[in-house]
Amino acid sequence: MGLYKQVVKPVLAGFGITAKRLKHRKVTLGYPEELREQYPRTRWRHFLTRYDNGLEKCIGCSLCAGACPARCIYVEAAENTDEARFSPGERYAPRYEINMIRCIFCGYCQEACPTGAIVLRKNFELADYKREDFIYTKEMLLEKYPGEADAPFVGHYQKTATRKS
Amino acid sequence: MPKRVETIVLHDSSTPVLGDVQKGGNVVVTSLETLLGQARANSLWPLTFGLACCAIEMMSTVASRFDIARFGSEAFRATPRQADVMIIAGRLSKKMAPVLRQIYDQMPEPKWVISMGACASSGGVYNNYAIVQGADQVVPVDVYVPGCPPSPDALIYAVLKLQEKVKRHTARNLSDLRLTEVHAPRRLEEVEA
């Protein structure tokens, strides 16, 4: 009687819990091959956006740099001329640099921007080997065509997977 | 030609048996560094070095939803003697820096460091007298992860980047294979300096 009560019954109860857990949904995500659905307001990599006609939205006002709590944004402004026109207004930013390693992705720059030029999107695969590679210059931040920033994010390992197949 | 070799092997009893050649199998030839690189990359045991909020994300990386065990890194060790990679998770204060360095020195070769989050990598918002502006002032860092804190996916991406780096490592000489300790333990004067 003691054997049943002290050994068999607890063992059966334990296996019962295991059996109950078997029918549960699996929770592990297959990250490098597939991405989890991110929240709509997820804030990761910055983009400098363009208007539909291809002109840059950034006017070089440095409000983003002022709002940044980590002081990781550097903006240099210059005048637009009729020969070399980059943005619709008077001024544009010839240099725009973000220190990605110091940035805390708070999104204050996005909030401060009067033209909606700087946006934070869902590309979280930013890890790298060298410190110098984290200074994102304007060439890296500026989207190649209008609307590139809004394109759905495809991870590095999904890209390699599709290339192979 | 392969068939001829196989026939000779099958008929000559003095030929040494090589792998599964007699059964018609294949032989894979690789270099020792590739083999070591694969073995090391797929069993990176991290050291728990949670210093602040990033450690919460590091814990969640080990938990079942993100499950870093899929990449062979589930064995978080509390002792530096059994760890390969140190994940510095959180802001590194100047008082903690000597401790971090000592623990790094106690880890056996080969060893790697992941600097997780803005604070560990560069100081982040804490540009003040108390925080070391970048863990690479104290230990050599292999992979930096931006983010405040980096999401578990971002940390897994950094671990995959580190695996790539370990696999790519080419040894120029025998000591470069790092089978034994390369650097002698630091002398007392060096520690105090």
Positive/negative CA dihedral, A123, A129, A133, A135: positive
Q: What is the pTM of this model?
A: 0.83
pLDDT higher than 80, residue B16: no
Residues of B in contact with A31 (CB under 8 A): 66, 153, 156
Residues of B in contact with A124 (CB under 8 A): 147, 150-151, 153-154, 157
**Interface residue A135 vs chain B (CB under 8 A):** no
Identify which of B118, B136, B158 has the shortest CB distance to residue A127.
Answer: B158
Residues of A in contact with B151 (CB under 8 A): 124
Identify which of B125, B144, B145 has the shortest CB distance to residue A70.
Answer: B125
Residue B191 φ then ψ, to 5°? -65, -40
User: Please, what is the Cα angle at B62 between B95 and A43, to 5 degrees?
Assistant: 80
Tokens found for residue B174:
């025998």
In chain B, what percentage of residues exceed pLDDT 90? 45
Residues of B in contact with A103 (CB under 8 A): 118, 146, 148
pLDDT higher than 70, residue A68: yes
The per-residue pLDDT for B174 is: 77
**Interface residue B90 vs chain A (CB under 8 A):** no
Each residue's pLDDT tens digit, B146-176: 998 999 999 999 999 999 999 888 777 777 7
- Max CA separation in chain A (angstroms): 98
**Interface residue A12 vs chain B (CB under 8 A):** no
The pLDDT of B113-131, averaged and rounded, is: 92
pLDDT higher than 70, residue B13: no
d(CA B118, CA A103): 7
Searching chain A, which residue's CA lies closest to the CA of residue B122? A102
Burial B70-95 (b: 16+ CB within 10 A, else e): ebbbeebeeebeebbbbbbbbbbbee
Residues of A in contact with B122 (CB under 8 A): 99, 101-102, 131
Count of CB atoms situated within 10 Å of the CB of B171: 16
Contacts of A35 (CB under 8 A, 6+ apart): A153, A155, A158, B153
Query: pLDDT grade, residue A99 (50/70/90)?
Result: very high
What is the ipTM metric for this complex? 0.85
Distances (CA, A) of B166 to A8, A150, B36, B153, B163: 49, 35, 9, 20, 5
Each residue's pLDDT tens digit, B61-103: 999 899 999 998 888 888 898 899 999 999 999 999 999 999 9
Query: pLDDT grade, residue B1 (50/70/90)?
Result: very low
Contact: B157, A70; criterion CB under 8 Å? no
The per-residue pLDDT for B184 is: 61
Q: Is the link from the previous residue into B149 a cis peptide, with omega within 30 of 0? A: yes
Please, are residues A108 and A119 in contact by the beta-carbon 8 Å criterion?
Answer: no
Please, are residues A123 and B147 in contact by the beta-carbon 8 Å criterion?
Answer: no
The per-residue pLDDT for A162 is: 57
Distances (CA, A) of A147 to A58, A151, B164: 15, 7, 32
Contacts of B85 (CB under 8 A, 6+ apart): B44, B45, B46, B47, B73, B111, B112, B113, B114, B159, B162
Each residue's pLDDT tens digit, A111-143: 999 999 999 999 999 999 999 999 999 999 999
**Interface residue B157 vs chain A (CB under 8 A):** yes
- Higher-confidence residue of B22 and A159: namely A159
Residues of B in contact with A131 (CB under 8 A): 121-122, 134, 136, 144
Contacts of B190 (CB under 8 A, 6+ apart): none
